[in-house]
Amino acid sequence: MGRLAPVVLLVFSNLFMTYAWYGHLKDFRSKPLLVVIIISWGIALLEYCLQVPANRLGSSFLSLGQLKVMQEVIAMAVFAVFAVFYMKQTLRLDFLWAGLCLCGAAYFMF
């Protein structure tokens, strides 16, 4: 798995974090805010259990800047899929433009 491990871990960590940040807007709308905060905090803990090892593994062959840009590209991709398929949002051109800007950032960082 080697160099692919940080990417896989970051994809799954971003799935958890995206849900922790936005899933409550769909699934826990009727719950009190404090309950939603605690639930989201628990989900975010799972995210950190994947994100920290991803960065630790990735730091052996990527710079800090490369790790950050890679994480942002993955986060935007995960968010776009989550927004469209889970939250039923319309895929808009701003996803494309933001994605292209992130690809440019990745190009210059790598």
Q: pLDDT grade, residue 84 (50/70/90)?
A: very high
pLDDT at 34 (0 to 100): 97
Q: Which residues contact 17 (CB under 8 A, 6 or more apart)?
A: 43, 44, 47, 51, 75
Per-residue pLDDT at 1 exceeds 80? no
pLDDT (mean) for 80-86:
94
Q: State the pLDDT at residue 96.
A: 85
Tens digits of residue pLDDT in 19-66: 999 999 999 999 999 999 999 999 999 999 999 999 999 999 999 999
Could you give phi then psi for residue 5, rounded to 5 degrees? -55, -45
